[in-house]
Structure 1
């Protein structure tokens, strides 16, 4: 299914004719509401009706909260619906602002029921149903519509979902219920920026979307081309800086710089040449970009608001890394991530130590799938690679082993590469021990950092200029400049522990908005957008 078609899945159906999700009129319902039965003390008919309407399928915490209040209704009094009820229904009706589907929470259904309910049983069920839908809305908004690890085992994120009793207790205690509703959404600037940009792009889509740039020969700086006016218009539509400044009939100056900026925003080589890849990105339907932004708002809901005072943040889809301290980015670097067959997982951990001049303990899968076939053909295949063979603690000469007797199921050996320039880990690695055996390290293959797309590893993250990264992460060690490089040059294997906690966050984001207003989109290198989109399509009635 294409993203253009899939948009129909995420976009909410019209709530009613000529009415958008953000325009549900609860004022009319407030004036026409049929007064509910007399709201009295516990053990009254309405409280008994609420108690009788409790279903075994309800979340335990919600039943507990009702029990603590002797099953008195939450959302109405003898005077009708409470202000909190109107605000909750209005928030659910406007869920589309957060890339959630209002129809999942039935706000118009509650308005209609508030106008037609008459019996204690009707109102009791109304109250319970609104509580269930409010809990669903709060859960979706604060921690996502789906559980990441249930969607994809490579997403090792387990966002905290609201505990029902505590959610309703906090709602009841809040002095400003509108502020409480706002607090349910992620409180990070990253989420707020993407939410704002999604609204702006939706307005562009409603106005007709983006202009299509016709196919043609590869367009290079200095050329003339009848498509220049269309190209300029297309870049202006996406708010690319400088595009409007171009004049003349030659592809040069401001227009070339605007194309380079567009390429940067889309993770392409910034050469100003409009070839097949750049043209394809220019002509991605705006509806597809809306979906991409919606999917990444879901991902932001999985993430903590506060990632720490000092942390490493690597976006696998972007193939870049940054170090943030006290809210400021203090270092950036290009990285190489796992190829699609060896996709790097998403998780967070803590940096425990940095190893200079490390050994490389060859992973079992690489030893058996890549080196064993070579050793079966030539027992000297490891010669010149500084890779030794061990069985237990004993080293064995490769030429003394009958390699054809072994396979992936009975391989008893351990392969270890000595430190050195040819070591697969380079001269330094950054360790945050985890069940996936993933870490950040140097590499002898420096040329890969010059490529725009850098998914080439077996899963670990190779970083450019790793000793600059070491200087940044180990700055609290109070050593002289060049200290870590000197240890590297000595060849001595050295382990250094950071003196302050440093968190490491490996993420997967294919759309985001920076502080400078630039909006970035990345290729879905692991196909995780499509998997998440399908999960959101089917997660319409999940249990709370």
Structure 2
């Protein structure tokens, strides 16, 4: 058999450069990979050689070479085409083959690792193949690598629930038969390749910002602000010029408008914006935490952005027409209608020991003046020891005791006879100002017993870090949230507050679908161009980074 013409020395070099450039999770400088991207774009598709053997010989070789662990859908797709090659014909390599290998070589643009897809090996196979068996090997390997690449790009390199049981996300992975059929039927294969990535503005913005930060890293990163005393507004300081330059480098509004050597005016306001971007107290004071964020290595920010691009691949492109979006790392809630944010508020989320899980559900009802059915774990671990010491310990909190549906006086129970292993009681707190759920809760029943609710502990909302609950989400100004979520019911002004003040328990069911998405994002870019980073309060960045590095070495 005559060998196809080489894919091209320039292209092979481009692939090699990509493979030796930054990986998807190292956060290192990307100059080499960017050079590779530019060079690989020069590749011209097509081949001048013809493939001399009958198609049937190649088909027989592909069928005989089919690996035992090949995905069934891919094997069926080959079978439907009588095992004819997918990526070449009598005229040589198809354009789709060139474009697919080029896309895999440039996977770093999407924070994926090009070496996971072996583009250089595919180039080498196409260079050296002579026999039908060798060409069959090339076609099969390109199909397998393309399937892997498409899966990683569309739904993530790792399956979230397998690396962390608190991540109850199960992204749809592409079905091989449909993927290859759509690829072959596409009239614009380049557009088809671009469409494999998440089609959300959030993903596109973060991808764009990642490229910009990589370019900045290649230039040496951000300026370091020297250590010194705590810097407060109106103080003179020799570091002012350096501070101003550091904020300008990250495009913080107002920094470039400042002049002079005093920490005042627009520079203080710029620092407050920077603090907001990083989830800090927006007091304008440059203390230990703010200075640490100013001097956070750009490589760490690259890692955060890369990890959160992976998280975006786990999420649906369309989160719904009307939904509640809670970012646990940010400890904020927003309500979105038709793509526009119409309400934002602070929330308190679970302590690291009681980390709130990630999942999506649909709101079913809102309850005003709710009972609080004390969770079993809280009843046995927190309240039972108190009851053993004093059977009346919970009476001041209006918590009553039930067994088999019947109320029992706490003083009639021999509490020392019970433990977490044989606790037959149900504890319920009556509605009221001291109720742990406050005066209203928003229910989307789920297996984790997580919901959004009011709280009598209002002071916690003033803190910059708000991880204090047992897992549920406490919301600031919950009746303002009710007004937004139940607006379609056309309530009279103050209607929900009137029910609250009456003390009556009331359940209201929304008449329109309201989706609820509990997420965990530590880096994102807003529509206004601001880039945000958050502390990894649950250590989930570390877990994901380790999983991605393992996947990289295992070439998954």
Correspondence list, 1:87-236, <5 A:
87-236=99-248
For 2:503 and 2:127, the matched residues in 1 are separated by 80
Matches within 5 A, 1:378-389: 378-389=390-401
Aligned residue among 464, 477, 482 for 1:465: 477
Partner of 2:355: 343
Q: Does residue 49 in structure 1 map to residue 61 in structure 2?
A: yes
The change in CA–CA distance for 1:379 and 1:31 in structure 2 (over 3 A counts) is closer
Offset from partner CA, 1:500-523 (integer Å, 9 cap, x none): 000000000000000000000000
Q: Which of 267, 271, 290 is matched with 2:283 structurally?
A: 271
CA contact (8 A) 1:309 1:325 kept: yes
SS across alignment from 2:173: coil
Tell me how far 1:10 sits from its aligned partner.
Answer: 2.1
**Cα distance between partner residues in 1 of 2:398 and 2:548:** 49
Structure 2 counterpart of 1:538: 550
Using the TM superposition, give the Cα deviation of residue 485 of structure 1 relative to its aligned residue in structure 2, in angstroms: 0.5
Q: Tell whether the 8 Å contact from 2:45 to 2:94 is kept in structure 1 after alignment.
A: no
Give the drift of 1:65: 0.3
Q: Does the residue aligned with 1:539 lie in a helix, a strand or coil?
A: helix
Q: Following TM superposition, by how much is the alpha carbon of 1:34 offset from its aligned partner in structure 2, in angstroms?
A: 6.2
Offset, 1:110: 1.4
Partner secondary structure for residue 384 of structure 1:
helix
Q: 1:540 to 1:387 in 2, by over 3 A?
A: same
Aligned partners of 1:428 and 1:441 also within 8 Å: yes
State which drifts further: 433-442 or 27-36. Answer: 27-36
Q: Give the equivalent residue in structure 1 for 2:408.
A: 396
- Which stretch of the first structure deviates more once superposed, 199-208 or 106-115? 106-115
* Change beyond 3 A, Cα 1:205–1:26: closer
- With 472-481 and 138-147 compared, the bigger mean Cα shift is at 472-481
Q: Is the 8 A contact 1:11 1:101 kept in 2?
A: no
Q: CA deviation at 1:31?
A: 7.5
**Counterparts of 1:17 and 1:461 in 2: how far apart (Å)?**
44
Match of 1:448 in 2: 460
Instruction: Compute the displacement of 1:8 (Å).
Output: 6.3
Q: For residue 310 of structure 1, what is the aligned residue in structure 2?
A: 322
Aligned mates of 2:82, 2:180 — CA distance in 1: 15
Q: How does 1:55-94 map to 2 (within 5 A)?
A: 55-94=67-106
Residue by residue over 1:200-257, the C-alpha shift from the partner in whole angstroms, topping out at 9 and shown as x without a partner, is: 0000000110111111110000101111111111111111111111111110001101
- Report the 3-state secondary structure (helix = DSSP H, G, I; strand = E; otherwise coil) of the residue aligned with 2:552: coil
Distance of 1:18 and 1:471 partners within structure 2: 50
What is the deviation of 1:29? 7.8
The answer to whether the 8 Å contact 2:30/2:214 transfers is no
The alignment yields a C-alpha RMSD, in angstroms, of: 1.9
Q: Distance in 2 between matches of 1:123 and 1:15?
A: 34
1:438-479: CA deviation from partner (whole Å, max 9, x where unpaired): 000000000000000000000000000000100111111122
Q: Which residue of 1 aligns with 2:303?
A: 291
Assess, with a 3 A threshold, how the Cα gap between structure 1 residues 14 and 214 changes in structure 2: closer, same or farther.
closer
Q: What is the DSSP-based 3-state SS (H/G/I as helix, E as strand, rest coil) of the residue aligned with 2:347?
A: strand
* Residue aligning to 2:11: none
Q: Write the distance in 1 (CA, Å) between the matches of 2:315 and 2:24.
A: 24
- 1:308-387 → structure 2 map (5 Å cutoff): 308-387=320-399
Contact 1:98/1:141, CA 8 A, preserved across alignment: yes
Measured after TM superposition, the shift of residue 23 of structure 1 is 3.6
* 1:112, distance to aligned residue in structure 2 (A): 2.1
Give the whole-Å Cα distance in 1 for the aligned partners of 2:534 and 2:465: 10
CA separation in 2, counterparts of 1:204 and 1:13? 11
Aligned to 1:38: 53
Q: How many residues align?
A: 535
- Mapped contact 2:237–2:262 kept (Cα < 8 A): yes
Contact 1:21–1:95 (CA under 8 A) maintained in structure 2: no
> Deviation digits for residues 4-44 of structure 1, max 9, x if unmatched?
xxx8672499999898441453756857886544353xxx1
For the residue of structure 1 that corresponds to 2:397, the secondary structure is coil
Q: Work out whether residues 36 and 118 of structure 1, in 8 Å CA contact, stay in contact via their aligned partners in 2.
A: no
**1:10 counterpart residue number:** 25
| Equivalent position SS for 1:389 | strand
Mapped partners of 1:93, 1:420: distance in 2:
61
User: Matches of 1:249 and 1:12 in 2, distance apart?
Assistant: 35
Q: 1:174 to 1:401 in 2, by over 3 A?
A: same
The secondary structure found in structure 1 opposite 2:262 is coil
Q: Is the 8 A contact 1:218 1:276 kept in 2?
A: yes
Contact 1:154–1:345, Cα closer than 8 Å, also in 2: yes
**Structure 1 contact 29–115 (Cα < 8 Å) conserved:** no
Structure 2 CA distance for aligned equivalents of residues 331 and 26 of structure 1 = 44
Query: 3-state DSSP class of the match of 2:235?
Result: coil
* Residue equivalent to 2:451: 439
CA distance in 2, matches of 1:30, 1:90: 11
TM-score (norm. length: structure 2): 0.93
Q: In the TM superposition, what whole-angstrom CA distance separates every residue of 1:321-343 from its partner, at most 9, and x where no partner exists?
A: 00001111111110000000000
Distance in 2 of aligned mates of 1:111 and 1:512: 36
Aligned equivalents of 1:190 and 1:167: distance in 2? 24
Preserved CA contact (<8 Å) 1:343 1:526: yes
* TM, length-normalised to structure 1: 0.95
Unaligned stretches of 5+ residues in structure 1: 1-6
CA distance in 2 between partners of 1:302 and 1:120 (Å): 39
